[in-house]
Amino acid sequence: MESKRQQKFAGVIQEDLAAIFQREGMNYLPNTMVTITKVRVTPDLAIARIFLSFFNMANTALALQTIKSHASEIRYKLGGRIKDQVRIIPQLEFFIDDTSEYVERMDKIFDKINKEERQPDIE
């Protein structure tokens, strides 16, 4: 259970990282839109776990690796934006958010179930 402080700090990080990726995301991943779906912060506010979703990118593992390789640069830019609001700039850990893939898989399963003919109950 996250505290209000953690949630508020995560929201600030999410907004600022979204702006960074919107303006400078093309430098890291050309022709790819990066969305920050969720941010979780540790209780001491030292580590931020950022969940990303990639659109128009076939190889999400490669995209994540590219973002991870630029993590220190992204952290520096984030620090420039939030330096007046926090004491320390958190370390950034990036993960793939596979929620949309999970939803698509579940939709296919439900469609398959609905298409199967119902067998009459035998009593």
Domain ranges of the chain: 4-115
Q: Tokens for 94, please give them.
A: 């990036």
Query: Would you state the CATH architecture of domain 4-115?
Result: 2-Layer Sandwich (3.30)
**pLDDT tens string 26-48:** 888 888 888 899 999 999 999 99
Going from the C-alpha of 44 to that of each of 34, 63, 87, 88, 101, the distances in angstroms are 27, 29, 11, 10, 32
**pLDDT tens string 58-110:** 888 899 999 999 999 999 999 999 999 888 999 999 999 877 777 778 888 88
Instruction: Judge if pTM exceeds 0.85.
Output: no
> Residue 34 is inside which H or E element, if any?
strand 33-41
Query: What is the Cα–Cα distance from 82 to 12, expressed in whole angstroms?
Result: 8
Query: What is the Cα–Cα distance from 61 to 100, expressed in whole angstroms?
Result: 15
